[in-house]
Every structure is written in structure tokens, then in C-alpha cells.
Structure 1
Amino acid sequence: MRFKGTENQRVEKEKVRILRIIARLNIGGPAMQAVFLNKAFNSDSFKSKLIYGSLDKSEGDMSYLLDEAPQFSIYIGEMRREVNLIRDFITFIKIISIILRERPHIVHTHTAKAGALGRMAAFITGVPIRVHTFHGHIFEGYFGGKKTVFFKMVERFLARFTDRIIVLSPTLKEQIMHVLGITDRSKLSVIPLGVETELFLNCESLKGQFKRELNLYDETRLVGIVGRLTPIKNHKMFIDAAKIIMAENGAKLDIKFVVVGDGDMRESISAYAKENDLLERMVFTGWRKDLAKIYADMDVVSLCSINEGTPVSLIEAMLAGRPVVATDVGGVRDIVSHSRTGYLVQRGDARSLAGYIMQLLSNDEMSRKVGQAAREYSRKIYIRERLANDMDILYKDLLKKKGVMT
């Protein structure tokens, strides 16, 4: 089933063909990065296409990002996040068919499902270079013990025929190597995310718009959390912290707690807020595209996740100059330097979360200083031009090592 001229196929005057595969374009960092790289690598030297699948009903949709160049994307309706042997087999056959038609020099997969099906298809069809990006990992907080062990075994198997595994932070690299034992240092590269920095760096011009939309006073303080409403994001911890803040400071605070996002836990999170007499203090916005406007009016942005890769919401908030308080999980500590660019708390520690939020709300100078340090750090690291350049160097290095590029 291999296409002719694979391992010894050389790229001289022709463009390097890349086939990028992601399970779905739901709202979040993986979709944003995959779409951006697909666009960036349609150039004089590269030709890139993106395969993507279907969303769950409760997920926000980012496929609108493909509207500028739909000819560089391929939709497979059977590809979904959940394991389904029939749909997954159909997806696998379709990916093989696309590979045989497109004849890519590089297959680059994003997320677990696409990583498994895409890399196996690339291997058996003889694609010269196989790359996978871990945007986080699913080995903590997602599944029970037996499933987790199984998925670790699958990733270790897939790593054997993957030329390079990309992780988004040094902490995730250490976890992949030493804690999870998926592969060794020689196959791992750290390439941080790149986001649309200017949009958030310039958000001060939007200040006040979100509060006016909500009919709030300018003096009302806003504490927010941005992300999917799913168990792994642990929004109950955010509500627990809100309850502590209101119990200890409510009489002197004009404050709202803003939940940006949606998901299958929307109703249960709303019910939990009601149980704790907080519903009147909560704002549920659903999915929003105008995040810069929302960050502009935030006083503090929090993250309560049980597990994370590199959370885009924290990077965006930091670019907007907003102080952040987050759980010290996954790659978060590679973004947030405790007491300098934000504050870290232990997973599930709602009291510490509430404490740092109150420190920031009650000390404007401290809040300004932390927010400014966060902005200066993030604007140097998480830029899209740097991401594209890093990936260009990696691709060309692999092409040369495999004898594909002259």
C-alpha cells in the first residue's frame, strides 16, 4: 500500500507537501495552532493541507478559521474524539486514501485520536516523515486506571515509528520522558505555542465595552475563567473560591464571577452555583469570539484545571496585562512564574485561589505590577512568527536527515 518513491523521494524544485491531521476543530489551542500552521506552510517552499473531523454537540466550533482558504482543508465526518471501532476504521481507510492521493513528504498529527490513526496510516503507506504534537496529555484526570494504562501503551507503541514528538513546554517534555516513559530525549522537541499577540496587547482600547454589555458599573470587579465546561477544567473549584470570597468580603465588594465557555457541564455548574447562593453573582457568557473585549475588563483571570498542557486562556490574559491565578498542573508553571507573572495554587485548593484573587483585587499596584510582568514575558515567547520559524527549522532538519531534501 506504500506510494512509490517514499523513503528516497527527494525535494528539489517541488514544494514540500505536508498533511496535517487533527481530530476536530473545537475551541482551544490545538485547533488554533493547527489552522495557523496550515496557513503559514502554504508558501513558496511548502504546500499544506489539514484533515479534521466532527465536533461533539456541546463543543464550540473553530472551523470558521478555515474560511479564508477552504481549498487547503479536508473534512472527515466519521472522525470524532470518542473511540468507535466502526467510525475509526472508516476514518483510517479515508486517511490512507488521502495520503495516497496527496503523497505528502510529512504527516504532522495533533491530538490523541488523530495522532493514532494518522501516524499508523502514514507508517504503512511509507510517508517519509511522521511528526506528532502533544498539546497536553490524557494520562491524568481524563480516564480511569485501566484506560490510562492502555493509552500509555498505545503512545509508547506509536512513538517507535514517529520521527519527532513536539511538546509545548519543558515540563511536559519531562513528563513525557520520565513520568510517562513514552519516548526518550532524542525524539522530543519543545516548541511553545504562538498566538495572535497584537489582538490582546492592544485590548485596552476596548475597555468598558464588556461591562456596558452586561449593564455593570465601571467600578464592578470581574474575576473570570475561560475554557470548556468539562470535568478536567474543574469549574467547581472556581465556584468554591467565589463562595469563600463572598463569605469573607461580600459586604464590601461589588463583584461578578464570569464563566466564559460552554460544554456538557453547563447545567451542573450552574446548579452548583445556585446551591451555593452564588447564581446572582455569576455571569455565563457561552462561547465568545471577542475575547480581547472580555479580557480588557477582567481584574483577575483564573484557571482551575486538574490537568493542562499549555492553556491558551492564560497566555491571552497575560498578553492583555491581566494578573492570573492558576493551578500548578501540567505545563502551567512554564507560563506562570509564581509571584512574578501570576500565582500558582495546588490542584483543588480553593482557599488559596480565593486568597490570591483577593490580594490582587485589594492591591491595585500589586495587580498592575504582576499584569505588566505577565505581558512583557508572554509577548516575547508566544508569538506566531516564532512558532512558524521553529517549525520551519524542525521540518527542514528532518527532511535533510531522512534524505528527502537536497
Structure 2
Amino acid sequence: MKVLHVISGGETGGSRKHVITLLKQFAKNEVVLAVFQEGALSKEARENGIHVEVFQQTSRYDLSVLKKLARYIRQERFDLLHTHGPRANLFGLYLKKKTNICWVTTIHSDPSLDFMKAGVKGKIFTALHLYAVKKMDHYFAVSERFKKNLMAAGIRGDHITTIYNGIHFTEEKAVPVPRAELGADKDDVLFVMVARLHPIKGHEIVLEALQKLENSQVKVLFVGDGPIRSELEQAVDRRGLSGQVHFLGFRKDVEEIYAASDVALLASYSESFPLALLEAANQHLPVITTDVGGVNELITNEKTGWIVPTGDADLYRQAMEEAIFRKQRGELAKMGDDLYQHASRHFSLTNLYEMIRNTYERLLS
């Protein structure tokens, strides 16, 4: 079996982590990662022993790489094409037509929301992406809710396999980053949000909730980078939160940052199954999350975290207040320990690898 994974290459968030951790499980001669630009993803993949091929684009509209990719698929005799993300999915239409290769995808976010705030161009790309999604041979849905969404879009249920994201869970916690390096004191309540700086991730909801808390001992870390960083930095200044919110950018020491924090945050308007929450669970952190994707299969509300409706800053603030109260009572640690026990039993990397491999073999048999 030989599988070509295709992704744009500019990813710095959950999809980057998902692809690298998954491909590491396969034999080196079984998988190749194709990207359209050098970046953190290609660098990290090589560091992990993954074969990376770069089909460099002069811009994201440079379609000359498609013929090169199709030729590469034929020359290397790949059995299966696995695409990730809108650009790779769109290019998959051409590759399928030219090579007739078996084509699967893991959709890491709602295709109808991938181009939020992109104007007319965004609407065009959304329509094209939704068209491409309906032309694939098989789909990996990372939650039952996401499978239902795909079926509602007209995709047959027997063409969808629900496979939850997974990570390697460790027995010991990471060594925490000193809080002083994160702009926080030992007595602060430290919330951390690991997410791409993109409108779909809901950072503004967190800022609105934090402003309404009116508690200077609450600090929030935004870990990640993206297209709306300057917009969010301006929002922080406008809301008078510059002393409480710290932008850490892209970091490789996410585990250590989680270990230094009290609660993990997720405020997305759409997700499939957030890898960041599993990484938080591995560091025994309870979670405040919006009700997206498969989070209700990971979080037990008010026992291992809090689940609130999307876009509701008032309820998000209430959950943050409850987390602060639980810390004062010394109850956060047990919530985090309980989440770790549940997550490590049900969402391991071994489960993810075995189910994807079995699906590959079934499709090629």
C-alpha cells in the first residue's frame, strides 16, 4: 500500500498536528506528504522522518503544480490519495480525473465556513469546495455529528467512516513553562487557547467574556498565529485588556504551556473533533468549549469541563466564572484528572491509526 497525503503546507494548527502524528505511525515507504509551500508543517514532518515532496506554487492560484502532481502519482504508482483542507480538496478534483486514483479526505472543519469574511471570493471558493467534497470516494468524519453533517449534504452514510482524532497520551505531565515567562503570576487564573487566529475560532467571544469578567487576576494566552492577529490585537487594546491577554504566536512547547495553565479554552463556531482539547486533556486540564463537533463525546459538562453554545459571550463568561470558583475551592485538578482518564482510554493515537489503516485496506481490496 502506498498513500499520498496532500495538504497546502501553511497549516500551523490542529490539522498540521493531525497529519504529522498520523503519518508517523505508518512505515516510511507507505506514505508521502505533498505540500505546496515550505513551512512549519514540512519542517516538522521531515524532523519526524516523513518523506515530504514540495510542489512549490508561485501563488495559491498557480495551477501548474497539478500536472506535476498527476505525473508524480502515476510515476510513483500511489494506490490512494488522501487530501486535507480546501486547497488540497479542490486540487483533488483534477488529480482524480487524470489518474482515477482512489480519493479520500479528512475534513478538519466545516467546508461551508472555511472562507468566512472573505467576501465574494470566499463565496466562490466555498461553492467550489462543497462541489469537490461531494466527488470523493470516501470520507473520514472525526465525530458522529460531523458524519451527520456530511450526510445532510447528500453524501451516503456508507461512504463515511467515523474516526476520532487521537494523540499519544503520556503518563507524566510536561514540565511547565515558568508563569513569569507567560506574563502571569502564580496566583492568577490562567486560561490558554491554542487555535489558529482565524474568525472561525471565536477569539472575539473569549475577549468579550473576559471584558465582562472584570477580574484583573484572570490572564488569557492565545497560542497560534493567523490572518486576523492584528485585528485581535486591536480588539484587545480597544477593550482595555492588554495587561490580561498575551499573544504567544506559533509555539512548539504547547504541552509545557498547557502544564502551566489552569483551564484550556475553545470558542470555535465550527470544529470536527478538536485535537487541541486532547492535548489539554493529556496535561490534565479541564476545558471550556463551545458545542461543536464531537466535544460532547469528550467533555462531560460541569464534571470535566464546560460546554456552552457557540457565539454566546455571556454563557462563556459564566463558565469562566465557574472555573475560577472551582479553582478557589481546589476542584480544578480533579476535573482535569478525570478528563485525562476518559480521553486516554477512548482517543488514543493507536485507535486512530488502526481504524484509518483498516479503512484504506478495505477501500483497496
**What residue identity is the alignment partner of 1:195?**
I
Contact 1:109 1:133 in 2 (8 A): yes
In 2, the alpha carbon distance for the partners of 1:19 and 1:141 equals 23
Provide Cα deviations, 1:116-139, integer angstroms capped at 9, x if missing partner.
213531342132x22211122221
Contact 1:95 1:118 in 2 (8 A): no
Is 1:138 the equivalent of 2:88?
Answer: no
For 1:189, what is the secondary structure of its paired residue? Answer: strand
Equivalent residue, structure 2, for 1:124: 98
Provide Cα deviations, 1:31-74, integer angstroms capped at 9, x if missing partner.
2222333332226xx6211111227xxxx723222223667110
Contact 1:35 1:50 in 2 (8 A): no
**What residue identity is the alignment partner of 2:236?**
A
Equivalent residue, structure 2, for 1:206: 175
Where do residues 163-182 of structure 1 align in structure 2 (5 Å cutoff)?
A: 163-178=137-152, 180-181=153-154
CA shift, 1:355, in A, is 1.1
Equivalent residue, structure 2, for 1:42: 27
CA shift, 1:152, in A, is 5.0
Provide Cα deviations, 1:177-235, integer angstroms capped at 9, x if missing partner.
11x22x1101000111122322xx522x514x331424643222211211111211121
Equivalent residue, structure 2, for 1:66: 45
**What residue identity is the alignment partner of 2:115?**
Y
CA shift, 1:337, in A, is 3.0
For 1:329, what is the secondary structure of its paired residue? Answer: coil
Is 1:54 the equivalent of 2:28?
Answer: no
The answer for unaligned runs of 5 or more in structure 2 is: none
- Aligned CA distance change for structure 1 residues 386 and 362 (closer, same or farther; 3 Å): same
**Following TM superposition, where does structure 1 have runs of at least 4 consecutive aligned residues deviating by more than 6 angstroms?**
none
TM score, norm. by length of structure 2: 0.90
Identity over aligned pairs, percent: 25
**What residue identity is the alignment partner of 2:219?**
K
TM score, norm. by length of structure 1: 0.81
Contact 1:99 1:122 in 2 (8 A): no
For 1:206, what is the secondary structure of its paired residue? Answer: coil
CA shift, 1:151, in A, is 3.7
Where do residues 3-402 of structure 1 align in structure 2 (5 Å cutoff)?
A: 16-42=1-27, 47-54=30-37, 61-68=40-47, 72-78=51-57, 82=60, 84=61, 87=62, 89-127=63-101, 129-140=102-113, 142-143=115-116, 148=123, 151=126, 155-156=130-131, 159-160=134-135, 162-178=136-152, 180-181=153-154, 183-198=155-170, 202-203=172-173, 206-207=175-176, 209-214=177-182, 216-246=184-214, 250=215, 254-364=217-327, 365-400=330-365
In 1, the alpha carbon distance for the partners of 2:346 and 2:273 equals 13
The answer for unaligned runs of 5 or more in structure 1 is: 1-15, 401-406
For 1:259, what is the secondary structure of its paired residue? Answer: strand
Contact 1:323 1:367 in 2 (8 A): yes
In 2, the alpha carbon distance for the partners of 1:300 and 1:279 equals 20
**What residue identity is the alignment partner of 1:132?**
T
In 1, the alpha carbon distance for the partners of 2:352 and 2:158 equals 20
Equivalent residue, structure 2, for 1:7: none
